[in-house]
């Protein structure tokens, strides 16, 4: 029977604990990011001028600044104005807002790719603007945006490793603690990399299943 050394026993126990925290960060951040992205993307296309400007400003702000800076502002900066977030809340909020900004760009592009003739055709058939968007435009746009949105979720899994900078001890944070204690950085971060590779591979598997479920033969081809 294979027996692990005390170092590896402690390392795997810490990484498994960090993995649970990483999942607790990734799942709500991914769901929240998709919801924010769909909402912001739709408002940037169908909203009035000021709504579009606000949506564009939001996307520009969170796509144009480093995520680590956003996390620092949420965790260390907001207390200066009387807003206190726990490390977990700060990390999830930052991930959702940053991911949502990128998702909104994918959704916006997908919505704009739908030909205007479909709007006019729906109006001719008696559809209201809301029915046109909900029943005709959005189903097509979702299928066109799914690849970009799925790619952003993969990125989210990897940049969830930044949560430790606001003292939220997820997979990377737990591993860094062990590596610093034992001065065995190569082994520790190699194993952490395998954990993230497994998470990304699992996410890709499920995303492909979703794509297959939504696939319509001939859709998107000339």
DSSP the chain: -----HHHHHHHHHHHHHHHHHHHHHHHHHHHHHHHHHHHHHHHHHS-HHHHHHHHHHHHHHHHS-HHHHHHIIIIIGGGGT----HHHHHHHHHHHHHHHHHHHHHHHHHHTS-HHHHHHHHHTT--HHHHIIIIIHHHHHHHHHHHHHHHHHHHHHHGGGGGGGT---HHHHHHHHHHHHT-HHHHHHHHHHHHHHHHHHHHHHHHHHHHHH--TTTT--
What's the pLDDT at 50? 93
Model-level pTM? Answer: 0.88
What's the pLDDT at 219? 56
Rounded to whole angstroms, the Cα distance separating 200 from 100 reads 19
Residue 85 lies inside a defined structural domain of this protein: yes
- Residue tagged 């990483």 (tokens): 22
What's the pLDDT at 222? 43
Residue 82 lies inside a defined structural domain of this protein: yes
Domain CATH for 176: 1.10.3720.10
Residue 112 lies inside a defined structural domain of this protein: yes
**Whether residue 109 has pLDDT greater than 80:** yes
Residue 174 lies inside a defined structural domain of this protein: yes
* 2 vs 168, higher pLDDT: 168
Tell me how many domains the chain contains: 1
What's the pLDDT at 134? 77
* 128 vs 72, higher pLDDT: 72
What's the pLDDT at 217? 67
Residue 178 lies inside a defined structural domain of this protein: yes
Residue 108 lies inside a defined structural domain of this protein: yes
* 110 vs 62, higher pLDDT: 62
What's CA 189's distance to the chain center, in Å?
23
- The domain in which residue 46 lies consists of 10-214
Residue 2 lies inside a defined structural domain of this protein: no
**Whether residue 218 has pLDDT greater than 70:** no
Residue 200 lies inside a defined structural domain of this protein: yes
Burial class (CB in 10 A: 0-12, 13-18, 19+), 124: exposed
């Amino acid at each position: 029977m294979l027996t692990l050394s005390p170092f590896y026993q402690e390392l795997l126990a810490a990484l498994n604990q960090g993995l649970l925290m990483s999942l607790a960060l990734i799942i709500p951040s991914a769901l929240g990011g998709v919801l924010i992205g769909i909402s912001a993307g739709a408002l940037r296309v169908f909203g009035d001028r000021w709504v579009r400007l606000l949506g564009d400003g939001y996307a520009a702000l969170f796509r144009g600044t480093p995520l680590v800076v956003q996390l620092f502002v949420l965790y260390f900066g907001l207390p200066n104005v009387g807003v206190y977030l726990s490390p977990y809340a700060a990390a999830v909020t930052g991930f959702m807002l940053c991911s949502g900004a990128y998702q909104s760009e994918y959704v916006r592009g997908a919505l704009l790719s739908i030909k205007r003739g479909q709007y006019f055709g729906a109006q001719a058939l008696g559809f209201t603007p809301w029915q046109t968007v909900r029943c005709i435009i959005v189903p097509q746009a979702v299928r066109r945006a799914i690849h970009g949105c799925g790619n952003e979720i993969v990125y989210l899994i990897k940049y969830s490793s930044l949560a430790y900078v606001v003292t939220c001890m997820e997979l990377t944070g737990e591993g860094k603690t062990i590596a610093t204690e034992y001065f065995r950085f190569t082994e520790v971060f190699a194993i952490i990399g395998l954990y993230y590779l497994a998470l990304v591979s699992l996410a890709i598997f499920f995303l492909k299943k979703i794509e297959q479920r939504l696939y319509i033969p001939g859709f998107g081809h000339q």
